[in-house]
C-alpha cells in the first residue's frame, strides 16, 4: 500500500512527519492522513516524494522489475532483487553486496563458505 511505502521511506531516512510535510508544503496532519491511509495523496505529492527521496515514481510505488547496482569495481545486475534490501533496511552497501552476490552465485562452494562462517559464530 502506498501509505506503507510513504512511512517506510520516511522512517528509513530517519525523518519526522513535520519535516516531510514542510518539504511538500502541506500541514503535518495532512501528511499523517496519507500515512494512515485516511486520504490519498495526489500525483503531485507522489512525484514530489519520489524526487525528495531520489527514486523514480515506480520505485516509490515498489515496482522495480530490474534493479542495477553499481560500484567502482563491478556492475551488478539481478532480476529478482528485493529493493527492500537496499532501501528499506539498515544494511550497509557491503552487506547488501554480499547478499546479492550470494543470491546470484548460489552453488555448493558458497554454501560451504557460509557454513564455515556460521560455525565460527557458534
55, 82: one domain:
no
Grid cell for residue 27: 500541514
Q: Which of 61, 95, 111 is the last residue of a domain?
A: 61
Number of domains in the chain: 2
- Show the domain range for 86: 67-121
10, 34: one domain:
yes
CATH code at position 29: 1.10.260.40
CB 113 within 8 A of CB 102: no
Considering the chain, what percentage of its residues have pLDDT values greater than 90? Answer: 28
CB 53 within 8 A of CB 47: no
Task: Give mean pLDDT, residues 27-31.
Answer: 96
Q: Which of 44, 61, 78 is the last residue of a domain?
A: 61
52, 23: one domain:
yes
Q: Which of 33, 1, 7 is nearest to 87 (CA)?
A: 7
SS3 assignment, position 54:
coil
Band (69; pLDDT cuts 50, 70, 90): very low
Band (25; pLDDT cuts 50, 70, 90): very high
CA distances to 34, 86, 116 from 20, rounded to whole Å, are 12, 21, 45
Q: Which of 45, 61, 77 is the last residue of a domain?
A: 61
29, 79: one domain:
no
Q: Over the stretch 81-102, which tens digit does the pLDDT of each residue have?
A: 444 444 444 556 666 667 667 7
79, 111: one domain:
yes
**pLDDT value for 16:** 92
More confident residue, 6 or 93: 6
52, 6: one domain:
yes
- 0.85 exceeded by pTM: no
**pLDDT value for 92:** 63
93, 48: one domain:
no
Amino acid at each position: 500500500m502506498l501509505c506503507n511505502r510513504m512511512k517506510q521511506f520516511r522512517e528509513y531516512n530517519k525523518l519526522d512527519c513535520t519535516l516531510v510535510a514542510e518539504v511538500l508544503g502541506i500541514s503535518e496532519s495532512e501528511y499523517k492522513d496519507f500515512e494512515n491511509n485516511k486520504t490519498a495523496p495526489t500525483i503531485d505529492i507522489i512525484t514530489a516524494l519520489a524526487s525528495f527521496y531520489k527514486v523514480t515514481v515506480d520505485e516509490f510505488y515498489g515496482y522495480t522489475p530490474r534493479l542495477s547496482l553499481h560500484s567502482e569495481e563491478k556492475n551488478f545486475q539481478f532480476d529478482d532483487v528485493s529493493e527492500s534490501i537496499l532501501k528499506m533496511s539498515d544494511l550497509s552497501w557491503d552487506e547488501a553486496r554480499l547478499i546479492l552476490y550470494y543470491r546470484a552465485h548460489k552453488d555448493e562452494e558458497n554454501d560451504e563458505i557460509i557454513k564455515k562462517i556460521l560455525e565460527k559464530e557458534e
